[in-house]
Every structure is written in structure tokens, then in C-alpha cells.
Amino acid sequence: MTNRQLPLVLVPCFSGSPWETSMFPSWRDRKLVTGRLPNAADLDAYADIVAGWARHLDEYVLVGDSFGALVALSLAERRPRGVRALVMSGGFARAHVSRWTRARMAAGRLLGRVGYSLTVRFHVDSLRSPFDPPGTDGLLRRIFLDECDASTFFDRGRIALGADLRPGLNRVDIPTLVLTPEHDRLIGPDAATELVQGIPCAREQVLEGTGHLLRFTHPRRYAEAVEAFLVDVAGGRKAA
């Protein structure tokens, strides 16, 4: 199977909402597999869900965004049959966040519905960049509130803040693209450095003029970067 034929398994971000594939017309000739992430007990359970989406595929590329990148990385560390390349945008092996962010998440859970609404607002604010078009904040808040209930939101926060996949990074033996926005207050540059240094076949590409929400705000450039990567690695075959 050539690089232009490899299906893409698209793993959702923190909201759990399926990828809107119509945003990526350059992928129209590829098979695209995505779905809604239900609430799950832990990172292994999320990886199991995505593995289920890919069970009918002989070969495929894992593409994860933000929390979805963490899930995709967790699955890639298992070395599943058929995965030929990995793409992570706004990804991390462990969360580089402040004590204030952790405390805010814990307090929000204790405050119930009001705490959820406030924490979503704070979270969306932390994703903002000067490169986002007007209205991005409101759109993202609606996605969170429509797609992710309070229990799911705080459970995912607990999982993301508690994860540390660094010990298994050297098990990822496939070509890997770490797609990094220029401006990312939530994740920060150290997260990408850990991924590139820990994964033997990883490379980083910084998309200038983008923020953490680059999949939503710059879908054309996002897709072009993925396509160029797959062409360059000759179809995403496993490294020798």
C-alpha cells in the first residue's frame, strides 16, 4: 500500500468529538476513520477504543490531536499490528502544566455544574492564541458543552494530568511526526522536545502562525504537513 492509500485513524481531542473530515479536502481520496470518544476509566481503555476502530484495517496511520495525541501515543507504544506511522499535534508524553492549572481542575470538579462551566471557560482560554480567527473561543466552548459532560471532562483531566508515557517512548518504532504550533500556552515546547528525543524515528515540524487549535483554525496547512510527512517517509513503513 502506498503512502497515498494508507487510511488515517483520526483520534479526537479532549472534547471527544469526532473529527470533521470535510475540513480536510486534500484527504478526500483517503479512507478516514474517526469516532466519538466515550468516557473511559483510564488511558489504556481509551487506546482500546481506538484499536477497535482500526481492527478491520491491514495498514493505517494514527493521527491524534491534543488529548487524542496522548491516546494515539499510548496505542503506538503497544506496537499494534498494521500501524505504519504516527502523527501527534499538540501532543505530550506527560503534562507540563502549572500547579494552578491542576488546582483549578480539582476545584472545578468539587463545585459541580457551575465549576464545570467555569473550568471549561478557563480551559478554552488556555488554548487561545493570537493566530485564532474571531469566534474560535465561542465555537470551542459549545463543542465542549455539547460533546463532553462534566464527569467525562474531569475524568479526562485526571487522566491527562496523571499520564507519563516517557518510559515507553523508545518502543514507538514507526516514523513519527510531532506537529507543533508556534504558540501553545497549554502544552509548551518541552513536551515536544521530550517526544522527539524519546521516539527513535520522530521529527518535529513547527507550523508558524498557529496555536494549539491548529487542527480547527488551519486545517489546510495541517493536512498538507501530514501529507508531506507521509510522502517523505515513503508510505510510513516501519524503520529497519
Chain center to CA of 142 = 19
Q: Which three cell numbers stand for residue 136?
A: 474560535
| Pairing relationship of beta strands 32-33 and 60-65 according to DSSP bridges | unpaired
- Pairwise CA distance, residues 85 & 240, whole Å: 13
What pLDDT score was predicted for residue 1? Answer: 56
Domains of the chain by residue range: 8-96+163-232, 99-158
Specify the pLDDT at position 5.
Answer: 82
pLDDT of residue 237: 42
Residue 198's pLDDT is 98
pLDDT tens across the length of the chain (240 residues): 555 589 999 999 999 999 999 999 999 889 999 999 999 999 999 999 999 999 999 999 999 999 999 999 999 999 999 999 999 999 999 988 767 677 777 777 777 777 888 888 888 888 899 999 998 888 888 888 888 898 999 999 999 999 999 999 999 999 999 999 999 988 888 999 999 999 999 999 999 999 999 999 999 999 999 999 999 885 444 333
Question: Would you state the pLDDT for residue 126?
Answer: 86
Q: Give, in order, the Cα–Cα distances in Å from 226 to each of 8, 81, 175, 229, 230.
A: 10, 21, 12, 5, 6
For residue 8, the surrounding DSSP H or E stretch is strand 8-11
pLDDT at 239: 35
Spatial CA neighbour of 56 closest among 9, 3, 2, 21: 9
Superfamily holding 8-96+163-232: Alpha/Beta hydrolase fold, catalytic domain (3.40.50.1820)
The runs of H, that is alpha helices, within the chain are 43-53, 67-76, 99-110, 112-127, 136-147, 150-162, 189-198, 214-217, 219-232
Closest to 214 in 3D by CA, of 156, 144, 130: 130
Cell readout for 26 is: 486534500
DSSP 45-91: HHHHHHHHHTTT-SSEEEEEETHHHHHHHHHHTT--TTEEEEEEES-
